[in-house]
Amino acid sequence: MEVAKNTKNVAVSMNEKWQKIISEYEELEQKLIGQLDPDEMRKISKKVSYMRPSYEKIKKFVDNLNAIEENQELLKDKELADLAREEISGLKIENEKLELEIIELLSPKDPDAHKDAIVEIRAGTGGDEAGLFAGEIARMYMRYAELRGFKVEMIEKNETETGAVKEVSFAVRGNNAYSYFTYESGVHRVQRVPKTESKGRLHTSAATVYACPEHDAEEIEIPDNELKIDTFRASGAGGQHVNTTDSAVRITHIPTGIVASCQDEKSQHKNKEKAYSILISRVIEQKNEEEAKKLGEERRSKIKSGDRSEKIRTWNFPQDRITDHRIKKSFFGIKEIMEGNMDKIIDELKKFDK
Domain ranges of the chain: 10-106, 117-353
- Among the listed residues 250, 245, 225, 223, the one whose alpha carbon sits nearest the alpha carbon of residue 233: 245
Look at residue 199 in the predicted model and tell me its pLDDT. Answer: 74
Angle (nearest 5°) at CA 100 between 99 and 104? 115
The domain 117-353 having CATH identifier 3.30.70.1660: the answer here is yes
Most confident of 45-54, 177-186, 279-288, 333-342: 333-342
Better-predicted residue by pLDDT, 196 or 46: 46
The answer to whether the CB of 36 falls within 8 A of the CB of 48 is no
pLDDT, one tens digit per residue, over 105-153 is 887 677 788 899 999 999 998 888 999 999 999 999 999 999 999 999 9
Q: What are phi and psi of 349, to 5 degrees?
A: -65, -40
Average pLDDT over residues 305-311: 52
- 250 phi/psi in degrees, rounded to 5: -125, 125
- Report d(CA 259, CA 282) in Å as an integer: 9
> How would you label 23-37 residue by residue, b for 16+ Cβ within 10 Å and e otherwise?
eebeebeeeeeeeee
Which whole number is the average pLDDT over 51-62? 93
Encode pLDDT of 260-285 as tens digits: 888 877 788 888 888 888 888 888 88
- Find how far residue 161's CA is from the centre of its chain: 32
pTM for the full model?
A: 0.64
Please give the helix or strand (H or E) that residue 251 lies within, else none. strand 248-253
219-243: pLDDT as tens digits:
788 888 888 998 887 765 444 445 5
Q: In what order do the strands lie in the sheet with 321-324?
A: 151-159, 165-173, 117-123, 203-213, 186-192, 311-316, 321-324, 329-332
